[in-house]
Chains A and B, each alone.
Chain A
């Protein structure tokens, strides 16, 4: 476990000495802020129409009307930012030869992959932490319920974990980080639009495609419900992607 943390820590630090961390967090803050303001504006209008002001007796629910759609919009941010987080993880190590240090140190492949995953997840956590500022405003000036907000964050963390593990896998396949970034973006896009494609197909395919969609599973979390079905989906998605990454690293070894 110490080994895993050492790798995660190094990974996280390397994001912050490069512009990546600042670009990712900055972009996320701006986009989230934009979504927040537009939804707030919309919410304000709806509340006025309902004849209540901000903070008045709650007939219009802040959680439902504001926080939940806000969380669903976060997937757009992830689509653009997370490929930047994962693209260098393996590619850069392969290109620069530092992979030789990791693969000849007394570490298992699982430890290395998991360490890198945790490093990316920590950066993503920092990104989410910035969004707490906006949510904090709502708590300061209104009185939303906190358990659904918490559920939403759990969902976001898991959804990001899926994207990160997938990105890690793509990065393990090439030594060119630009290629890794672009392919990762394309794959994310596919998983993102998959339920949109689903709407054009028959009911059974639709069911399958919707199930595969990473974003679809966020709906319940965003609404404040932690359903084991979705939890299982996210956790197994992450585990499977990380497993594929371990396999990719190992098979690269055999091929040389």
Chain B
């Protein structure tokens, strides 16, 4: 349904998107994940025909966006990063105008405007001026605008930005409903969103594709080796020695000490479950086994791992890391990769 081949976009000296290729099948919900300045908006702008690519091709709904822009645009609904609203128009007038320029036949206009207001839950604001709406409502009117002509392809740039938690959930539900009939591409910084709504994800960093896969596969692919978290009530040296002696265990590292309680991270060969041996080793020695659980890499960690510098250390799902990524997701932004993009950001104006 959507095919992007070796897409490159340069703004003068800044390469915003660098040789990006991917395919999205009909009915799929496809997520764009990446830190600020990664090139998500730029890729979407090329897909919607807002700007041409510097190199490469983009095919949307069977039409090349450069060769047949009108045909491609007819089949695309787009919610830009800033909802494109005219402040002096009422929501209804605005959507009617959008219906006209999108070529919705006169007879169907009213019905389609009402239906899209219903879907984006803005019907209660129908007669309010767009300029007087709150941020969240603006976003929703923007979404109504994208859905208006019932396009095959929906391209949504941060559809949940600025929404309250209840609306975020409802919008995700809406997007899930839209998948199937529509092909949806959405971008976001919020990682759980991708796991919940998207069937496949592309992670972009500095204009390059770092990974394309389903959220589940990404999680397991990156795990590489299995890691267990073990909390034992015993001296650290004894425990460490005992755990290292178990066949299949490759590494044991002390994660935390509280009084006599020590926590370890135990890595084992991939695919080998050492939980029984671990438990037996502790219990037969008469120590207290307080906790034993597998450590999974969350999407956050994968994201941070993939988008922070390539040369950086391999993923360390340690306690400290977890809290850092929890912080990052709390405000929906991802910190570390941002600093690397300062020059690009400055080139914006």
The residues of A with any CB-CB pair to B shorter than 8 Å are 2-3, 6-7, 10, 13-14, 17-18, 96-108, 253-256
Contact = CB atoms under 8 A, between A and B. Distances in A.
Contact of B97 (A6, A97, A99, A103): A6
A58 to B, nearest CB: 50
A103 B50 contact: yes
A101 B85 CA distance: 8
A15 to B, nearest CB: 10
Contacts of A105: 73, 98, 101-102
Given A108-B70, A255-B11, 15 more contacts: A13-B88, A14-B89, A96-B87, A97-B80, A97-B81, A98-B84, A98-B85, A101-B145, A102-B101, A104-B48, A104-B73, A105-B102, A106-B71, A106-B101, A253-B50
B100 A101 contact: no
A170 B80 CA distance: 26
A63 to B, nearest CB: 42
B9 interface: yes
Interface of B: 9, 11-12, 16, 42, 45, 48-52, 70-71, 73-74, 76, 78, 80-89, 97-98, 100-103, 145
Contacts, number: 81
A256 B145 CA distance: 23
Given A98-B86, A254-B52, A104 B101 contact: no
A105 B80 CA distance: 12
B84 A101 contact: yes
Given A100-B50, A101-B145, A6 B88 contact: no
Contact of B49 (A7, A98, A104): A104
B100 A97 contact: no
A6 B89 CA distance: 14
Nearest to A107: B101
B105 to A, nearest CB: 10
Given A14-B88, A104-B73, A108-B70, A3 B100 contact: yes
Contacts of B9: 256
Given A101-B145, A108-B70, A253 B100 contact: no
A91 to B, nearest CB: 14
Contacts of A103: 49-50
Contacts of B42: 256
Nearest to B76: A104
B186 to A, nearest CB: 16
A101 B51 contact: no
Query: Which of A2, A3, A104, A255 has most B Cβ within 10 Å?
Result: A104
B80 A6 contact: no
A17 to B, nearest CB: 4
Contacts of A100: 45, 50, 78, 80, 82, 84
B234 to A, nearest CB: 62
A104 B50 contact: yes
A97 B86 CA distance: 9
Contacts of B78: 100, 104
List the 5 closest pairs (A to B, CB-CB), nearest first: A101-B84, A6-B100, A97-B82, A106-B73, A98-B84
Nearest to A256: B11
A96 B9 CA distance: 23
Contacts of B50: 100, 103-104, 253
Contacts of B100: 2-3, 6
28 contacts: A7-B101, A10-B86, A10-B89, A13-B88, A13-B89, A14-B86, A17-B88, A18-B88, A96-B84, A96-B85, A96-B86, A96-B87, A97-B80, A97-B81, A98-B86, A101-B145, A104-B48, A104-B49, A104-B50, A104-B73, A104-B76, A105-B101, A106-B70, A106-B73, A106-B74, A106-B102, A254-B52, A255-B12
Contacts of B97: 6, 10
A17 B82 CA distance: 23
A88 to B, nearest CB: 11
Contact of A253 (B51, B70, B84): B51
Nearest to A252: B51
A20 to B, nearest CB: 11
Nearest to B103: A106
A100 B48 CA distance: 9
A133 B6 CA distance: 64
Nearest to B102: A105
A254 B80 contact: no
Contacts of B12: 255
Given A104-B49, A254-B51, A256-B51, A6 B101 contact: yes
Contacts of B82: 96-97, 100
Contacts of A13: 88-89
A17 B76 CA distance: 31
Contacts of A2: 100, 103
Contacts of B70: 106-108
A101 B98 contact: yes
Contacts of B84: 96-101
B167 to A, nearest CB: 21
Contacts of B51: 253-254, 256
A7 B85 CA distance: 14
Contacts of B85: 96, 98
Nearest to A98: B84
A172 to B, nearest CB: 16
